[in-house]
């Protein structure tokens, strides 16, 4: 546990993603420690999500809490597993300095940051779970915490990706004229933006569907406990229905 | 397998044999990447509904979908290059074109797990079609990066290459739509029998269908 907490501190302080290391194509964090951080922090976040059903839907709520504790880290790790080949291909296509192993470590770092932020929002979820009856409110709050942690994780990744391409910009900035130098720097920035956008699109596409098939996380009042609700329809059809109901 | 993955990595990064400005034209290796990548994505695209035979058919057809239009368009592309006074650069231009298609195949192969994951999570037929169309669009974007990378040097040498590139892209897309229409089905409607080609494969014209759809929408 101490190792995990030490790793979390180093992670959040940016010691694993130093600008000079990323510029040189180095990511020296230990993959097993990152995995441990993701599993532990994901489990903490999942347990916090599960507090609401545990309080409101006894005795089955405790089963839901246990399931959520397992499912939240799974959600992030399985999404990374499915998307990693595409993420790596787009990264190589943008001439990233990171090789396959380093790309995987960087993505594990971003996942660990995302899950750590989510776990840090856990006490807020727990507080509202204790003091709120409305299931709909808890659903919105849970989705919002996932959204906020995702945005902060993306911000972290965006900064890391721009560090990776800074060195490329510097190298190409040896062009003779000022106009060519500016064009070289702009091209490196564009590539950083491209890789970040592609990663976000592919990850969001798979992540949303992964969350859909791993649901329920919060459980529904009045419904019996199930580990998975089955694979009927998909996230996007569900979201469209929810929008339609919202405006009806 | 390891050698093929290294080759793919070199192509994506424009390194080694695939570095820009190399005189060697590794067409055989590029063709191998198109076949391997296309086969991999085709097999996953065709296994919708757990139909093994459709998966084999789609795997066999996918490399033709990626590169079939090239075979038809190359004579015109050569003539355009000659007319524009770019005959000397034709091998470099073809290298760019084939490299971009191999890039598309690699991107598709890398996204095969996404397709399989959506199928496993219970996607219905329209969702499967939409998803694969979207993944194709992403892969095409990857191919455009490689093409632009190769053409940047050519355009710097002679701006007429812009015209040749535009001519290539317009014709390639035009022919590819028809090639895709002939080679259907790739996903395969689970309620229809498994088939290599549709019975009306060579009779259907996607452009005529498009015209009549537009006509119907405007006159209804």
Compute the nearest-CA separation of A225 from chain B (Å): 20
Domain that holds residue A37: 2-247
B146-184 confidence digits (pLDDT tens): 999 999 999 999 999 999 999 999 989 888 888 888 888
| B9, B113, B121 member nearest A92 (Cβ) | B9
Compute the nearest-CA separation of A76 from chain B (Å): 14
Contacts of B71 by beta carbon, 8 Å cutoff, 6+ apart: none
CB contact under 8 A, B107 and A233: no
Residue B193 burial (C-beta neighbours within 10 Å; 0-12, 13-18, 19+):
exposed
In the predicted model, what is the mean pLDDT of residues A103-125? 92
CB contact under 8 A, A83 and B113: yes
Compute the nearest-CA separation of A231 from chain B (Å): 5
The C-alpha atoms of residue B84 and residue A212 are separated, in whole angstroms, by 54
The pLDDT value given to residue A113: 92
B106-162 confidence digits (pLDDT tens): 999 999 999 999 999 888 888 899 999 999 999 999 999 999 999 999 999 999 999
Of residues B116, B179, B138, B3, the one with CA closest to residue A89: B138
As for the ipTM of the complex, it is 0.75
The C-alpha atoms of residue A238 and residue A143 are separated, in whole angstroms, by 14
The C-alpha atoms of residue B70 and residue A39 are separated, in whole angstroms, by 48
Domain count, chain A: 1
| A86, A88, A194 member nearest B114 (Cβ) | A86
Chain B positions in Cβ-Cβ contact with residue A237 (cut-off 8 Å): 127
| B103, B117, B124 member nearest A93 (Cβ) | B103
A172-208 confidence digits (pLDDT tens): 555 556 666 666 666 777 777 888 888 888 898 899 8
The pLDDT value given to residue A199: 85
Res A81 pLDDT > 90: yes
């Amino acid at each position: 546990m101490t190792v995990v907490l030490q790793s979390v501190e180093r992670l959040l302080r940016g010691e694993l993603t130093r600008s000079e290391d990323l510029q040189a194509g180095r990511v020296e964090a230990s993959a097993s420690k990152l995995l441990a951080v993701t599993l532990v922090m994901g489990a903490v976040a999942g347990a916090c999500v599960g507090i609401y059903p545990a309080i409101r839907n006894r005795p089955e709520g405790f089963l839901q809490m246990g399931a959520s504790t397992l499912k939240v880290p799974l959600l992030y790790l399985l999404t990374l597993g499915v998307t990693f080949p595409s993420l790596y291909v787009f990264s190589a296509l943008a001439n990233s300095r990171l090789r396959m192993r380093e790309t995987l470590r960087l993505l594990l770092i971003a996942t660990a940051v995302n899950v750590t932020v989510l776990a840090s929002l856990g006490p807020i979820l727990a507080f509202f779970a204790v003091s709120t009856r409305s299931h709909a409110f808890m659903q919105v709050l849970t989705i919002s915490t996932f959204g906020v942690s995702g945005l902060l994780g993306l911000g972290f990744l965006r900064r890391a990706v721009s560090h990776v391409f800074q060195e490329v910009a510097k190298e190409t900035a040896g062009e003779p004229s000022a106009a060519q130098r500016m064009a070289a720097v702009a091209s490196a920035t564009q590539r950083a933006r491209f890789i970040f956008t592609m990663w976000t699109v592919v990850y969001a596409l798979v992540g949303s569907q992964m969350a859909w098939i791993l649901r329920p996380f919060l459980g529904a009042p009045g419904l019996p406990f199930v580990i998975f609700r089955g694979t009927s329809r998909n996230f996007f059809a569900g979201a469209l229905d929810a929008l339609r109901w919202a405006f009806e | 397998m390891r050698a093929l993955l290294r080759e793919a990595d070199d192509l994506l990064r424009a390194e080694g044999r695939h570095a820009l400005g190399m005189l060697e034209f590794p067409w055989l290796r590029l063709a191998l990447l198109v076949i391997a990548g296309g086969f991999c994505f085709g097999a996953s695209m065709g296994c919708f509904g757990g139909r093994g035979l459709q998966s084999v058919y789609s795997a066999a057809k996918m490399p033709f979908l990626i590169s079939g239009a090239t075979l038809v368009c190359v004579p015109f592309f050569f003539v355009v290059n000659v007319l524009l006074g770019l005959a000397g650069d034709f091998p470099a231009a073809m290298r760019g074109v084939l490299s971009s298609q191999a890039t598309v195949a690699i991107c598709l192969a890398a996204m095969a797990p996404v397709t399989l994951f959506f199928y496993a999570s219970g996607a219905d037929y329209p969702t499967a079609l939409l998803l694969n169309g979207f993944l194709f669009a992403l892969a095409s974007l990857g191919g455009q990066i490689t093409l632009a990378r190769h053409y940047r040097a050519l355009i710097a040498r002679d701006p007429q290459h812009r015209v040749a590139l535009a001519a290539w892209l317009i014709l390639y897309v035009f022919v590819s739509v028809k090639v895709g229409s002939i080679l259907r089905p790739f996903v395969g409607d689970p309620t229809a029998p498994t088939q290599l080609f549709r019975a009306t494969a060579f009779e259907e014209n996607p452009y005529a269908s498009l015209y009549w759809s537009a006509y119907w929408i405007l006159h209804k």
